[in-house]
Chains A and B, each alone.
Chain A
Amino acid sequence: MIEAELIEKKTAKDYGFFKFKLSEKLENPDAGQFVMLKALDEPILAKPFSIYSYKNKNLTLFIKRVGRLTGKIFSSPIGEVFYIRGPYGTPYIETISREKKYILIGGGSGIAPLNFFSELYPELVYKKLYGFKGGYIRELFEEEQSTLVIEEESGKTVVDVLVDVYSEEVGILACGPIPMLKNLPHDSYVSLEAVMGCGIGTCKSCAIKTKEGIKMVCKDGPLFRKGEIQWEWI
């Protein structure tokens, strides 16, 4: 595993940006891929985190505090060392069509891979909609203020806003909570989150049911066509 030293952090309540300096380079990380990150001892398993940004051995993750590992990351001082391996997962660009431009729809920490996508493929981005519940999130973002859709400010979710800007000529590339993904148009590309064990397709923990049978989010995804997924199984 690669050592990842926490060198910067910026948090607002339960969300935060965390920048790590890696002891080795990641091998050609692409948008939609994730790293498995673990703490030295507890919890035992590494957990998947989408890449928000990567440059010169500097890896930035955008994380929501949900469990023991993310709790530990939030409470860690600068200089704390974690361990990562990856990148894993199929890059979005290998799944989507390059013939279209995309509305990037993110919900909460789901904005992370979309940001990396917009960094690597700006020519494929039509519009960005990053949804959050509370306005406090604004303090974390400097340049992306106009892309933020804050539910407590406007009373609208990203899916509500999408209805106003959607046209069939553009594609949808989304990452966020399951209820948000379920409300998107049938032909959207949705990036799924799942509890993972290995991250490389062997342990079968992150299964989803598709029209073509069981697939693994880690290896076959994380991006799928919305219409391909048997949502009732999730």
Chain B
Amino acid sequence: MTDARATRRTFLKLTAMTGAAAGVVAVSGRAGAQTASDPAKAGDLLLHQDGPNKGKPVKATEVKVGEAVWAVAVDPATKKPRDAMKGGVVLTKVASGKLQASSKPNAAGDIVAYSSVCTHQGCPSKEIGSLGQGKGHIICTCHGSIYDPADNATVLGGPAPKRLPALPIKVDAAGAVVAKAGFTGKVGPK
């Protein structure tokens, strides 16, 4: 598994540079197999799912290095999630200079956003770990899957079979983080 993952990771890194891999956003849009029932679309707002700002738009200034913001993608017209089960998003900021090529096409500066639905069993992956291998990475608190936010959420440990799909983002004129496109891959477990 690990060897295979490493190989796949290398492949993705290489193809990311050419813009050929699924999940890499090209200028004209994105590759990937999303459907009409996408849990997120271009222009969607990201609203805090918990904490003191629950229900309010996520501002770029609120996303900090070493911390996670848990949000949900909502239709800007209705302010309702397109899919409450699959529209969860985890945002974090990567330390300056640490963002890898695989993450850059979907990031807004050093801010990255990924589906918060763990690819193992669908639990929320919405925290940044503070110990061991999980330190500084996105972790799932169900079974300890670890994803690298600086490297397109590649799996670093635990039972997750594949990376979290990214949500391409941008910062709008009001300073809010919004979706630039839908998720780059299938949300949740296989």
**Interaction A to B:** no
